[in-house]
Each structure stands twice: as C-alpha cells, then as structure tokens.
C-alpha cells in the first residue's frame, strides 16, 4: 500500500512538472437584456496544461454595468478544458466549469463552453468561444448564453494536440 501511494505521488508530481503554465484574458458578451456594459463580462484565468487537458482557476465579473449596493457580479470558477480535435494550428475545445458568484441570490454557477483555438505561436493562443452559464440559488435560477474571444499566454512553448488525433501543428 505504501509503495502504491508513493508511486501515485511520483506520477502526480511528474505530470505537474511537465505541464505548461498559462494566463488568459477572457472577455465576452451575453445575450441578456441591458446595455453593452451590462452585457459585457470578463475574467482572468490562470492554470496548467498537460497534453490535451488543462485546469484553470478563474476570477471575473458577470457584468461590467454599474451596481447599486453590494457588488453581486464578482465570481470565482474552476474550469477543466479538453482539446478534442486538432488540425494544423486550430484546436476544438470543450470546457465545463463550476463556481460561485459572491453576494448574489443565484450564487451557484455552472458553465459549458465550446471553442476554436488558434495557435498564433507556441506562446500565444487565441480562442473564439461560445457557451452558456447556468445560475441557481435557493429560490430562483436562470441561464444566459455568451460569445467571446480570449487570448492565452503560455510561459513555456506548448504544442497542442487533439484527443482524437496526434498531429502537432506546423510551425
């Protein structure tokens, strides 16, 4: 049992060491009613990428509109991501997420996102994405769709591959 535990710890440390760290700026627009500022949201995500899987921690705002009283637009979320298919410099991604909105009546949030990521170079990736947020609280729930373009900066070069193929992008 002790050897199994040590072997598992060794594998986890090895996988963490081989991943690439990234930071991403993630703006988007929702289809909710309101002004452009009320529809606009953004977040910053930091995480690690291992082969076709990444895991990021995210902090953002669900609306850039003015709020009265307590700010109920700040959220924190965990986003695992899977690169499904890769062709040349393009990768199809799917991202579920789970988090919470601080001080909101509908504080529990989940997310389902799909995107097309372009590898501009090994350190910079651009992602066009769309998806849906689901919010729920004790007495109500709602959902909203969104569309955005994000930019991701890797701190070491990364060459993504798809889950369904092993092609590396051409430089």
Q: Both tokens of residue 4?
A: 């199994």
Q: What confidence tens digit (pLDDT) does each residue in 47-104 have?
A: 999 889 999 999 999 999 888 888 788 999 999 999 999 899 999 999 999 999 999 9
Query: Of the candidates 145, 128, 140, which has an alpha carbon nearest to the alpha carbon of residue 32?
Result: 145
Question: Cβ neighbours of residue 45 under 8 Å, at least 6 residues apart?
Answer: 22, 23, 24, 26, 56, 57, 58, 79
Q: Both tokens of residue 159?
A: 């060459």
Domain count, the chain: 1
> Does any domain span residue 166?
no
DSSP-based three-state secondary structure for 42: strand
> Does any domain span residue 169?
no
Range of the structural domain that residue 137 is part of: 24-67+74-154
Query: CATH number of the domain that 56 lies in?
Result: 2.40.160.20
Give the CA-trace dihedral at 51, 82, 97, 119, to 10 degrees: 80
> Does any domain span residue 140?
yes
Give the CA-trace dihedral at 84, 60, 149, 38, to 10 degrees: 130
**What's the rounded mean pLDDT across residues 119-148?**
94
> Does any domain span residue 19?
no
> Does any domain span residue 13?
no
> Does any domain span residue 91?
yes
Predicted structure pTM score: 0.79
> Does any domain span residue 10?
no
């Amino acid at each position: 049992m002790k050897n199994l535990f040590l072997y598992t710890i060794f594998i986890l440390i090895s996988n963490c060491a081989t991943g690439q760290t990234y930071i991403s700026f993630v703006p988007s627009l929702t289809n909710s009613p309101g002004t452009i500022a009320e529809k606009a949201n953004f977040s910053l995500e930091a995480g690690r990428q291992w082969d076709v899987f990444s895991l990021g921690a995210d902090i953002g705002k669900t609306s850039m509109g003015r709020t009265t009283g307590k700010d109920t637009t700040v959220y924190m979320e965990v986003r695992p991501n899977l690169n499904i298919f890769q062709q040349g410099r393009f990768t199809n991604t799917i991202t579920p997420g789970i988090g919470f909105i601080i001080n909101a009546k509908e504080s529990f949030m989940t997310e389902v996102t799909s995107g097309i990521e372009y590898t501009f170079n090994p350190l910079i990736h651009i992602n066009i994405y769309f998806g849906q947020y689901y919010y729920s609280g004790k007495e109500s729930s709602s959902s909203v769709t969104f569309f955005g373009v994000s930019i991701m900066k890797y701190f070491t070069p990364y060459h993504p591959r798809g889950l369904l193929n092993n092609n590396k992008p051409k430089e």
